[in-house]
Amino acid sequence: LNANKSWFIFNDKVVFLGSDIQTTGDTQPITTIENRKNTDTTQYDVYVNGDKQILNNEEVELKNVHSLLLSSPNNQAMNIGYIFLDKTSLDFLNKTNQGRWKDINASQSDQLHENNFLTFYKTHSKEDTRYAYVMYPNVSNDELAKKEESNKVKILQNNASVQAVYDADEESWGVVLYEDMPFEIDGAITLTKKGVYSIKKKDEYRVSYFNPSDEEYHSDTIETILSQEIVQEATNKDKSTIIRLSIDKDTRKALKDKQKEKEKQAEKDKQKKENQLEKEKRAKRNKNL
């Protein structure tokens, strides 16, 4: 199985991205969204798109899913909800599994254990090789519906080269670059080196950077007109380098001017495209006369 998979932890949520999921064999690859042990003390209620489901069958296909909630009637802290950023189809499996710890470790007990599991998974095809969803722990059905309605999570890119997400509520970015390439953040920063980036904006930008294949931070990793200061060097305990990017008055004005220029250019490009389409329509009408 080949795939790019990443997850980004924000204040009250975790965003999961997957791309280029493929296998060389005949078996279709799957992504397991949830595999929850179901006991007498939990007995989860399942809500799909806000509606309670009766899922007694062993295996069911759920189509056009945009939200999923496993709700424990005994303890909301056990609840877990999901919002899918693209409508998707999921398979549900209600199955009792048996096994012994000795089966995976010869020194462990040979006592037989049996548990029931509720499993939700996505089956991929050659045309459907991605996923993007947000996990919210400890939410009710009403709370999950409100989070979906006011969702501020935006997937910036999700492919073989880049996986990037932006949370507007927190003004935070999560980025994984799989190769050295430019990737722009907020019109102010360009990331250039492969690695994992966590970026938070407040009165300044705070960037945490880690590249597992090259643990050093290079001066050209971030290109920006902002002043840079390394506030934490990578250590054996914490492999991340933390960089502060300050925004002074002059820089703020320069960034605003740059953004205005980008907006003007975007408007020009839009108008040019509309004019071209109109020209093609007129040419087609004239041809049919």
Beta bridge partners of 222: 191
Single out the residue of 262, 172, 171, 189 nearest to residue 227, CA to CA.
Answer: 189
Q: Is the predicted pLDDT of residue 20 greater than 70, yes or no?
A: yes
Reduced to 3 states, what is the DSSP secondary structure of residue 140? coil
**More confident: 263 or 156:** 156
The chain-wide mean pLDDT, for the chain, equals 89
- In percent, the amount of the chain with pLDDT more than 70 equals 95
Reduced to 3 states, what is the DSSP secondary structure of residue 283? helix
List, in sequence order, the alpha helices (H) in the chain: 141-149, 249-288
Rounded distance, CA 167 to CA 69, Å?
Answer: 21
Torsion of CA 49, 88, 132, 39, to 10 degrees: 60
pLDDT confidence band for 25 (50 / 70 / 90) = confident
How does pLDDT run across 45-67, given as a tens digit for each residue? 899 999 998 877 778 899 999 99
- Sheet harboring 222-224: ordered strands across? 183-185, 189-191, 222-224
| pLDDT reported for residue 94 | 87
Long-range CB pairs of 111-115, under 8 A, 24+ apart, other chains included: 115/37, 115/38, 115/39
pLDDT confidence band for 250 (50 / 70 / 90) = low
Q: What is the pTM of this model?
A: 0.82
For 216, the token pair is: 């050093």
**More confident: 209 or 75:** 209
How does pLDDT run across 198-228, given as a tens digit for each residue? 999 988 999 999 998 877 888 899 999 898 8
| pLDDT reported for residue 222 | 94
For 202, the token pair is: 């407040």
CATH superfamily of the domain spanning 171-246: Polysaccharide lyase family 8-like, C-terminal (2.60.220.10)
How does pLDDT run across 135-177, given as a tens digit for each residue? 999 999 999 999 999 999 999 999 999 999 999 999 999 999 9
Is the domain spanning 2-151 CATH 2.70.98.10? The answer is yes
Beta bridge partners of 191: 183, 222
Q: Where are the domains of the chain?
A: 2-151, 171-246
The answer to whether the CB of 3 falls within 8 A of the CB of 30 is: no
